[in-house]
Structure 1
Amino acid sequence: MVDVRTDMIGRRGAEYSPALHLLLLLVWMALLVVFAGVGHISADDQMYIAAAREWLATGSLLPESHWTVRHTVILPIALSFALFGDGEWQSVLPSTLYALGLAWTLYAVMRRYHGATAALVGTAIFVTTGLFAELGTIIHPDATESLFLLLGLFLFYEGAVVHGGDNKRLFGAGVLLGLAFVTRETAAAVPLALGVLFLLGAYTQRWHYFVLGIGFLLPVLIEAGYYMSLGEGPLYRYETVLGSTKAGPTLEMGGEVHAGTGNVTDNRLIGPFAALLLNNEFMLVFWGAIAAGIALLRAGTLRRAEEYGFTRLLLIVTAVWVFVEFYAFGLRPLPRYLLIPLITGTFLIGPWLAGLMATPGRRPVALIVLALILAANLFAIDLSNKAPRKPERLLAEWALSHQEPIYASDEFISRAQNFLRWDGVGADKVLAGPPPPGALYAVRLVTRGTGGVQAEASLEPDLHDAEVVDGWDGDRTVTGTVIGLFGLEGVVRGTPLARLLRYGEPVRLYRLPNE
């Protein structure tokens, strides 16, 4: 049994109550939902919502895509619908709770090994990132997967190291890692990392890893049994996943920049590291993690100190994670695939800054670094597009407020289908196809780099002589408000910096000419 210096809680930050910190976390989460919540994005979440509805309608679900095999995401949505009704906030509620659970687990584990100050600092950095603000307010498997992985790794470390091979904890760790795997196959990177430790005979005796493996197989076999009960084979999940996704590496080793969802570059060699260091979802966090890692290595604490044992495990897992996800699986280096590295980064920054705060003469430095990281995080949240489906929401509102039908493109209507359903808009109120003369026509606009807007090139009909009935040009950012107070808005508008002023894709409701 190893002493992890849990008495540090009593010696560092004991004046802080976990209940107070939990209250702060709940308040912050509420602020994110109200002021920075994204909600329904009419993308992958459409699949999850449809699957949840099928569960409620039929009592079972035979998945047909890699989205609908994720029962740990879908079943909580179905439960939320059953309890509170079919609606937008009800669909996102489980993801918000998963994100809260992840943040609180991070806090509790960091407090366990490094004390309350480190836990408060690390968690504050984590929950103010743009990535957390997004994943906590949309439907996605990332927070779910990461919660199970973090809990599983914690139980593994406690069982293997702290309690000298406690099989109950190791079995529980395996179950949690199995739940992460049935949430999304990317979680396989963590069992693979532990497999390397098994081969090395590290952390605990090898036979204890078999207990871990039995726990891992439990949810996997339960899922296989479920598919067999529906008349399919035990490998149905994997056949479905491989049939609905492109298996294997899909990125080039060359360096073409891809204007994707929040990634910096699709260069397969440097893409993950560019995303970590340059993406606005993380801002300065990984720069701070690098500084913390160097400082802790120079001090010798990261290599030798017992309280950093769990952090060393996270570093091993993170290295394997990056290799498996981006060089073996060939995933695009999107920020959401980097949640595990983000967690590891906070386990470096939190204790490092807490140590500086406790060192005479270093406290101002620590506070300045913390303030810079938090300010950069909040700046990123302010500039992020928190209303990606505002045009679709407005389409539903316009349909309710006008007596005549509104025409729109097939894609626009498809993206708006859940908003139309939730607002009770009849099928005859929003129509696709060529609009007749004099009809109302709703269209999304495309934002140019200088902040101007233009209609999509492929749009029909010709809108040159159409009358604008209503519209929306995006919501103003806090940064844009400050720029306006200094009288600089005119200088910024018309330049690439115009994105500092507003977020969101504009939309127009036109009255077409009668002839």
Structure 2
Amino acid sequence: MTSSTPSNTSIPAWVGPFFALLFATWATFVHLGDFSLLSPDEGRNAEVAREMKVSGSWLVPTYDGATYLDKPAFFFKASALALKAFGDTEWAARLPSALSAWLWLMLLFAFCRRAYGPTTASLAVVVIALTPLFEAFARIVIFDMMLGLFVSSAILAAYRAGEVEGKARRHWYLLATLAAGLATLVKGPVGFLVPLLVMSVYHAVSGRRALIGSFFRLSHVLLFLAIVLPWFVGLSIACPDFPYYGIMKESIARFTTPEFRRTQPFYYYGLIIAGCFFPFSLILPAAIREGFRRSYRLHDADRLFVVWALVVVVFFSLSQSKLPGYILTGMVALGVLVARVLAQALEAHEEVARRV
């Protein structure tokens, strides 16, 4: 039996986004300081931040008083500021990661709302926040969540630049460059390599290869250097061994050699996705299939997220050093594809309900 009158029980449009954002806040901040720092990474990173706060040495990190050059100082600075503001607590040490996670979810919500609508945007926030890998890294003192925020900002800003023309395009590219520069300050060359690879492949498969050259315009290169060089030059002067150690050992050797004893088989990240994306990994094949189908027939943003996920997983699968957090940005892209499938199913259900 069909009804000719509209339902009076329809849910207001603001309810889904409101509860999605409320859930994001709960998932990233509640119980943040309820457990002790984990060994070895959290304890080491929090101690580096504490020593930075005490010594006031914001350029050269130290660990137990010795120079510590394994990672750039940007994340340590953020943690040191949090410790200075809120005291030497687990909550304060983890605040930069949690805040980065929350801002990342807000960024994805804003992008997906514009690209797909509020239903997909809300579901994307819930799916990603419920992903075990995302939830874990949002609550530990480690670089990957802040890196992911800036890498994703660079990718989404570069995508937006391709949608507009003139002065607006220049502004979006400058914003993408700014984000890539900050990502580099968080964790080194991977901060600009991942956005560059993702967007280059995206433009190539989209038939817009001319846009790849936009990344190398003089104004963009100069902005990137203005962000990165003061740190790099200053640290190189203070620690002459840093250029070799930071670039050759911590970046190139980590990727190309088994020196760091983190070698895993090529299919390692397939196992990580199956476990750390659960339960959404159960519907991931359908999400990827639908993403491929839509990417060439319906929506450019679907193509972006498919390319994004594949490039990240393949790139880090080629590395001789593999850790779960390396593919965090790729798993977030998969989360958006899953949200698209769930939103499609929900909208189909609502359409059936309206006809009954």
- What's the TM-score bracket when you normalise by the shorter of the two chains? 0.7 to 0.9
SS in structure 2 of the partner of residue 320 of structure 1: helix
Q: Secondary structure at the match of 1:166?
A: helix
Matched, 1:26 2:34: no
Distance across 1 between alignment mates of 2:97 and 2:20: 21
Distance 1:363 1:128 in 2: 28
1:285: which partner in 2? 280
8 Å contact kept, 2:151–2:194: no
Match of 2:307 in 1: 316
Match of 1:178 among 175, 178, 181: 181
- Aligned residues of 1:311 and 1:344 also touching (Cα < 8 A): no
Of 29, 38, 42, the residue aligned with 2:39 is 42
Please report how far the alpha carbon of residue 13 of structure 1 lies from its aligned counterpart in structure 2 after TM superposition.
8.0
Higher helix share: 2
Whether the 8 Å CA contact 1:126–1:132 is kept in 2: the answer is: yes
Bigger relative contact order, structure 1 or 2, given CA contacts below 8 A and separation 6+?
Answer: 2
Question: 1:3 — aligned with what?
Answer: none
CA–CA separation in structure 2 for the residues paired with 1:182 and 1:48: 16
Query: Does structure 1 conserve the Cα–Cα contact (< 8 Å) formed by 2:16 and 2:122?
Result: no
Task: Tell me what 2:48 maps to.
Answer: 51
Q: Distance in 1 between matches of 2:308 and 2:142?
A: 22
CA 1:234/1:14 → structure 2, altered by over 3 Å: closer, same or farther? Answer: same
**Deviation per CA, 1:457-499, whole angstroms, max 9, x where unpaired?**
xxxxxxxxxxxxxxxxxxxxxxxxxxxxxxxxxxxxxxxxxxx
Inter-CA distance 102–150: structure 2 relative to 1 (3 Å threshold) = same
Residue 192 to residue 234, structure 1, CA distance change in 2 (3 Å): farther
Pairing of 1:112-511 with structure 2 (within 5 A):
112-163=114-165, 166-185=169-188, 186-187=190-191, 188-196=193-201, 202=208, 205-211=211-217, 212-228=220-236, 230=238, 232=240, 235=243, 238-239=246-247, 241-242=249-250, 246=254, 248-250=256-258, 267-277=264-274, 279=275, 281-297=276-292, 300-305=293-298, 308-327=299-318, 329-332=319-322, 334-360=323-349
Query: Do the aligned partners of 1:39 and 1:88 also contact (CA within 8 Å) in 2?
Result: yes
Match of residue 422 from structure 1: none
Alpha carbons 1:107, 1:123 under 8 Å: kept: yes
5+ residue gaps, structure 2: 1-10, 62-66
Instruction: Decide whether aligned partners of structure 1 residues 17 and 204 sit closer, same or farther in structure 2, where only a CA change above 3 A counts.
Output: farther
CA contact (8 A) 1:96 1:136 kept: yes
TM-score (norm 2): 0.80
Aligned length in residues? 330
Distance 1:276-1:46 versus aligned 2 partners, 3 A rule: same
Checking the alignment, whether the CA contact within 8 Å between 2:254 and 2:320 is kept in structure 1 is no
Check 1:50–1:29 CA distance in 2 against 1; reply closer, same or farther (3 A cut): closer
- Equivalence for 1:417: none
- What's the offset of the Cα at 1:335? 2.5
Q: Is the contact made by 1:118 and 1:351 (CA closer than 8 Å) also made in structure 2?
A: yes
Q: Is the 8 A contact 1:95 1:144 kept in 2?
A: yes
Matches of 2:79 and 2:278, distance apart in 1? 31
Q: Given the alignment, which residue of 107, 110, 113 partners 1:108?
A: 110
**Letter in structure 1 aligned against 2:246:** Y
Alpha-carbon separation, structure 2, partners of 1:171 and 1:216? 9
Change (3 A) 1:213 1:234: farther
The separation in 2 between residues aligned to 1:52 and 1:15, in whole angstroms, is: 40
Whole-Å Cα distance in 1 between the matches of residues 86 and 56 of structure 2?
18
> Structure 1 residue 248: deviation in Å?
2.0
Contact 2:20 2:122 in 1 (8 A): yes
Cα deviation per residue 1:37-63 (whole Å; 9 max; x = unaligned)?
655103122332232233223322424
Q: Secondary structure of the residue that 1:269 maps to in structure 2?
A: coil
Task: Name the CA distance, whole Å, in 1 between partners of 2:301 and 2:69.
Answer: 32
CA pair 14-84 structure 1, distance change in 2 beyond 3 A: same
Q: How high is the TM-score relative to the length of structure 1?
A: 0.57
Partner of 1:403: none
Structure with bigger gyration radius: 1
Counterparts in 2 of 1:139 and 1:236: CA distance versus 1, 3 Å: same
CA distance in 1, matches of 2:343, 2:137: 27
